[in-house]
Structures are given as C-alpha cells and as structure tokens.
Structure 1
C-alpha cells in the first residue's frame, strides 16, 4: 500500500496523463492541488513509484506515464463512483424514453449512445432470443421450395431465417405448418420447447421440423452490437496498435468472450493485460451487466485506451446498463 504522499502524486500523474496523453514531469505535478511538496521531492517520489512498477519513463529525457499497475491502483483506491452530468443524464433519459420498436434496433442505437457519451468503442450484448416468450410465428413462401420463418418475441426481438424445404410445397401446406408452429410456440420460449409435436400430416411436419431447427439455432446466437471502433482507433498513434484493435473488434466471438469473462469474474474494469486478450493490451474495458428481475440478460461496456477517463466511463456504463435493464423489463 502506498503512503499518502505517493498516492497523491500517482493520482495526479494519472489524471494529468489521461487529460494530455503526454509524459508528466515532476515540476508540473508539484503545482497540482493536494500535492504541496517541492519539485525535487516529487521527482524522488516518482522515481520510487517507477521502481515499484506504478510509473514508467518512456524516454530518458521525458516525464513518466502510468503502467497498468498504476491505473489499477488509481481505479481501486482513487476513483469514486462518478455521476453523469445533467446534460448526459438527460440525453440517456430522452434516449430510452423514445426507444420503441424492434429490440435489435434499440440495442444498436444503445451502442451508438455509449460512443457518443464516452468517445470510446462500445459493446452491447443483448439477451438471447431463445429465452424470450414467442409472440407470433409466420412462414412466408419465397419460392416453391424455400420459405422464410419469422418469429416475433415478447421483448421486441425479431428473428428470421431462410429455410430450404427440399421439395415443392403449396401455400396451403405452409399456412397449416405456420398454424401448427404457432400452436406449439406461442406463449412459450424456444429454449423450453424440445420438439414440435406431430400434426398428423407428413408434409406439414417436415416444414415445422425444418423451420423450428433453423429458428432454434439462430435464436441461441449472441446479439452483439459494436460502435465507435474508429473513435477508439484514433486515440492511438502506433499503426500496429490501431490494426490490432480494429481487427480484434471485428471478431464478435472474441468481444463477447471478453465481456462475459470480465462480468463472470465480478469485475467492472479490466486494464491492459488483465483481460487476457493480447491484441487489446493497450486498451481497458469497462463493463456492467444488464439485469432484469434479478436475471443477467446481457452486458454493456466501453473499450478505450488504458488512459481512459475511468470515472466517466464507469458512470456512463452504470447508468446505461440500468436504464437498458429497466427498458427490457417493460417489454
């Protein structure tokens, strides 16, 4: 544990580096409120903080910058739960007050909202459709042997999938298959239905089984919405870092696994190498679960440089996750 003076100096260095992205010198820190010691004393203490792994000097003639360990100390010991300012709070409130219609559209727009509020990349992992109540099922013929199965869920999600039926089918068979599917699924969840019971008509049953298999597969997929990748890339100077960040954000499986792992570990902030995704080692991730009636249905988060504004990021993610959970609970 650092003593009071080293804690104050480390906090000042972190805050200054977050604000300027420039190595921080002892003379500048000595003038900060709450430090109140000479530049020489600050310089000595910064040297000790470097030896202990909280700071690093990128160039011999430059000041110092925080390490992942320094940021972790700052987040754990010096970061108070932030509050969104009045304008941002109003923006979040207005957004969710007007958020109606398809769930997918709302989640996509929520990712854009997070980026607007923080300037970082955002990720929203929505609830899987297979846990939501089915409101209606439709089968729409596309050709003589293909159809689209469309399922509307009670939470506003809509899933559709093109199915190959393998042989010519009449509109009458499709209509009877849609009615049979509706009878088996309406008011239930996809996850709770093991199979569609036989109708007594082989042609209808083939359509129902094929359609149900397709919709069961797609409704079990994660719904992931990313925003602001270009914004976070612009915060890095090194071309290789930018390339790594953009390439990794394009891989949904990695992003979902990253967010899920942080939440499962009971963390709200993962800094640099802590999250274990090497191409994103220059980034920190701030996440919060989306909870509805005590059930964890999704997550929201932001990804930015390790020098991100942690108090603002934590406050933004907490408010948006709470409001999104409340909105989903109203569905």
Structure 2
C-alpha cells in the first residue's frame, strides 16, 4: 500500500499521462490538485515509485510514465464506476429509446455507441441462443399435416420452424398443443428443451406436442457466443504509437473467437478492467480492456467492453461500459 502522498503523486502522473501521452515531470505533478508539496519532494517520491515498479522513466532526462502496476493501482482506487452525466447520459438514453429492429443491427449499433462514448473500440458479445430462456412458444397450423412453430426467446430473438404433424389434425388440437407447450417450456433454456414434456392425456394433442419438441431439440441453436460486434476498430490506429502494435491489435479484433474468449475470461475472473499482461495476450501488452456482463431476465447473457491503450481514461470508460451494459440488459429483458 502507498501512503497518501505517494498515492496522490501516482494518480497525478497517471491522469496527466492519460491526457497528454507524454512523460510527466515533477513540475507538472507538483501543480496538480491534491499534491501540496514542492517539485523536489515530488522528484524524490517519483524515484521511490519507480523503484517500487509503479512508474518508469523512458529516458534519463525525461519525466515518468505509469507502468502496468501503476495503472492497476489507479484503477483499483477508483472504486465503483461513476454515473454518466450530461450529454453522454442523454446519448445513451436516447439510443435505447429508439433501439428497435433486428438484434444483430442493435448489437452492431451498440458497439458503435461504446466507441463514440469513449473514443476507443467498442465490443459487444451477444448471448448464446442456447443459454437464453424461452419466453413463449406458439404453434400455428398451416395445413392438415403441417404447422409452424414460433419461439420467442428472452433476448427478443424469434425462431420459426415448420413441423410435419403425425396425422391430419384440426386447428383445435393444434391450439391445445400450443397452449400446453407454452405452459411447459416458458422459462426453459433454449438449449435444454426436455425430451419428456408432460403429456396432456389426449393422443392427438400429445402427437403434436411430441413433434414440436423433436424439432426444437433437433434445431437447438448453434452457439452464437463466438460472434462479436466491433465498433470503431479504426480508432486503434490513433491509440498506439507503434505501427506493429496497431497491426497486432487489429489482428486480434479480426479473430472473433479470440475476442469472445478474452471478454469471457476477464468477466469470469471478476475483473472490470484488464491491463496489459492481465489480458493473457502478449499482443495486448500495451492495451487495456474495460468489460461488463449484461443480464437478460436476471441471468448473465453476453458481455460488452471497450478496448484501447493502457493510458485510456479509465473512469470515463468504466462509467460508459457500466451504463450501456445496464441499459442493454434492460432493453433485451423488456423485449
């Protein structure tokens, strides 16, 4: 743990470096709010912070820059994400007020929203359809031996499947089967439709129920969790100085499964922010990722995040990701 003076000096260095991307000298730090000591004292304390691994000096005559350890201390002392205010809060509210249409389009737009709020790259991982609850099931007769099954999931995804019925049945039998299936399957995970749905006692109705269940089990959605929506990938070019780093980060963003696994891993470790080597990827050694899961009907669904340089504005990025994840989860739950 750092004493108050060292902590205030470290925070001042991090904040100044985030704003300028230039090594920070003692003069700038001594003039920062909350640092009430002379430049000479600041220089001594910065030397101690360097020895302890919180700061680094790129050149002998240069000021200091934060290390991964320095950023981590800064992030850990921020606390819970603050609330978005002003125009950004209005922007998020307005976005979800008009967010309608296809889910894929909404996820894509949400990634661009995150990018616009933070000036870095926004990433949205949709829920895996197999892990989303069924909100409703409806069976509609199309012909004496054919019906259409319409399944609405909790994230507002709609599936449609045609079903060959075991015999010519009337609309009343199809209607009874539809009501029974809705009662039995509502709330069930889409990827866990049971084979032994309770019977009704009527052979014709049970025949329709069995046919529908067979189709739903056979067509369990492919795992969409390896899909990812990326907004503002071009912002990576302005985020890093080295061309090689830009190319490496862009190559990561092009690998959807890698990005999904990365976000999942960070969330599973209980982190809001992964900095440099904490991401587990050598190519992201100079980057940072701010993430948050979002929930649908109270269950964790997908995740969102912002990828940028290690010197990103963490308070702003954390507030944006937290606000968008809450709004997205609420929007999907409400349908």
TM-score range, shorter chain: 0.7 to 0.9
CA distance in 1, matches of 2:223, 2:280: 29
* Residues 165-204 of structure 1: pairs in structure 2 closer than 5 A: 176=164, 187=182, 188=185, 190-193=190-193
Q: Is 1:230–2:237 an aligned residue pair? A: no
Q: Is 1:245–2:249 an aligned residue pair? A: yes
Deviates more, 1:111-120 or 1:151-160: 151-160
Q: Render the CA deviation track for 1:60-102: whole Å, top value 9, x for unaligned.
A: 2211100000001111124563221221111111111111122
- The structural deviation recorded for 1:209 is 7.8
Q: Summarize the Cα distance change of 1:92–1:275 in structure 2 as closer, same or farther, 3 Å threshold.
A: same
Aligned to 1:102: 102
Contact 1:26 1:39 in 2 (8 A): yes
Q: Is 1:155–2:155 an aligned residue pair? A: yes
Deviates more, 1:24-33 or 1:309-318: 24-33
CA distance in 2, matches of 1:34, 1:7: 10
Q: Is 1:323–2:305 an aligned residue pair? A: no
CA distance in 2, matches of 1:253, 1:222: 5
Contact 1:245 1:279 in 2 (8 A): yes
- The structural deviation recorded for 1:190 is 3.6
- The structural deviation recorded for 1:48 is 0.8
297, 301, 306: which one aligns with 2:305 = 301
Q: Summarize the Cα distance change of 1:158–1:59 in structure 2 as closer, same or farther, 3 Å threshold.
A: farther
Contact 1:123 1:225 in 2 (8 A): yes
Deviates more, 1:125-134 or 1:255-264: 125-134
Contact 1:124 1:225 in 2 (8 A): yes
Gaps of 5+ in 2: 141-148, 170-174, 198-203, 205-209
- The structural deviation recorded for 1:219 is 4.9
Aligned to 1:169: none
Q: TM-score, normalised by structure 2?
A: 0.79
Q: Summarize the Cα distance change of 1:195–1:329 in structure 2 as closer, same or farther, 3 Å threshold.
A: same
- The structural deviation recorded for 1:196 is 11
Q: Summarize the Cα distance change of 1:136–1:95 in structure 2 as closer, same or farther, 3 Å threshold.
A: farther
CA distance in 2, matches of 1:64, 1:256: 34
Q: TM-score, normalised by structure 1?
A: 0.80
Contact 1:102 1:156 in 2 (8 A): no
Contact 1:122 1:303 in 2 (8 A): yes
313, 320, 325: which one aligns with 2:317 = 313
- The structural deviation recorded for 1:303 is 0.9
Contact 1:114 1:317 in 2 (8 A): yes
Aligned to 2:286: 282
Gaps of 5+ in 1: 139-148, 162-173, 200-204
